[in-house]
Amino acid sequence: MGLVSSQKSYILLLLLSFLNVSTIYSRKPSKEDVLFGGNFPAMYVIGDSLVDAGNNNHLPTLIKANYPPYGSDFEGGKATGRFSNGKTIADYIAIYYKLPLVPAYLGLPDTRKDIIKTGFNYASAGCGILPLTGKIAGKCLSLSKQVKLFEGTINKHLKDSLVAPFSLRDHLANSLFMTVIGVNDYAFFYTRFTDANVFADKLLHKFLGKIEKLHKLGARKFFINNIKPLGCYPNMITKTVPRGSCNERVNLAISIYNKKLRDSLPVMKKKLNNTSFLYSDYFKFMLGLRGPSRNQESSNLLNTTGPCCPLDYDGSLTSSCKRDSPSCKAPDTTHIFFDPRHPTQLANFMYSIACFDERTICHVV
């Protein structure tokens, strides 16, 4: 089955621009043209491996991406700790809003934290909303710990650098707070015996509690991503019958959470003063790239079911993208998934087009 026309357009555009997003956002839009207004002084990222910019490099954990072939298409071809061959969706969001790429908080000395005013990335691979998620692999930063790091950022760094009257308040109120978290809670703790509604309610209650905490600290503008269709990722579909089909049970459970999340945002907007939400349907986006679940490969142009690294992926726990793993030569021309759990730079770029240009998956609440 071939790619739909819009996907073919993405690839053509990508090849022509060599992933140079300056060619995509070269026109100067008016303020009304910029989704969610723009003009953010900073961007603060809270999340998991989809947007980890290198925090796990500095934690005692097995979940790291600070070695080749990760980062092969990033600036300078360096593995930064991003779980992709290149830029993440957080990187493309920052670029769209004309901000520098947001640095990993744990990778910076205090002297740098004191002077940076354009935001920090607290995301940590393997972690989630629940405090114990991912801990079997080592230490990671849960949602609660990431929010505490942000609170520490205010007290230790921003208060000393934004000293003019109301400058700290205005900085926080006008900054963008991006979240993408929750899939690891399903990966580690959701089973066929779990009540999907009860589990979703538990996650949502904890997640919204942290949104309220961020609001109390001064945040007002939130970019909320829902949870990806985990059941269609390479690490899941090697175990399904027929092999290659999506795990619909897992996807349905995640869909229940996503709907509750989307429905909660108008309520939160009324509850929290002067708060705005942009909702990103990442589930819909990745499901669209993946194509029909019955397919092993939905396109002769792109592999949408198997990872670039390792090429010989068999779904076992020991089969992952390692330093010596055989990988594809040019992931941004052949694959949607870079490793069994994460997208390629190509997919992340396509997300930015769907969100900001077509505006089919990102909507202001």
**Residue 260 host element (H or E):** helix 248-271
Catalytic, out of 142, 185, 339, 352: 339
The answer to whether 281 is a known catalytic residue is: no
CA distances from 68 to 73, 119, 306, 307, 342 (A): 10, 27, 19, 15, 15
Contact 321, 309 (CB under 8 A): yes
**Residue 223 host element (H or E):** strand 221-225
**Residue 224 host element (H or E):** strand 221-225
* CA separation for the pair 229, 247 (Å, rounded): 9
Helix, strand, or coil (residue 303): strand
Task: Count Cβ atoms below 10 Å from residue 41 Cβ, excluding itself.
Answer: 17
What is the SS3 assignment for 144-205?
Answer: HHHHHHHHHHHHHHHHHHCCCCCHHHHHHHHCEEEEECCHHHHHHHCCCCCCHHHHHHHHHH
| Six-digit token string for 308 | 């670039």
Catalytic, out of 175, 245, 342, 352: 342
The answer to whether 72 is a known catalytic residue is: no
| Six-digit token string for 359 | 């505006």
* CA separation for the pair 305, 318 (Å, rounded): 19
Q: Which contacts qualify for 157-164: CB closer than 8 Å, 24 or more apart?
A: 157/110, 157/113, 157/114, 157/116, 158/117, 160/114, 161/114, 161/115, 161/117, 162/117
Rounded to 10 deg, the angle between the 248-271 and 282-290 helix axes is 150
Catalytic, out of 49, 84, 325, 327: 49
Contact 309, 339 (CB under 8 A): yes
Task: Give the helix, strand, coil percentages of the chain, each rounded to 5.
Answer: 45, 10, 45
∠ CA 327-328-332, nearest 5°, is 125
The answer to whether 171 is a known catalytic residue is: no
Active site residues: 49, 339, 342
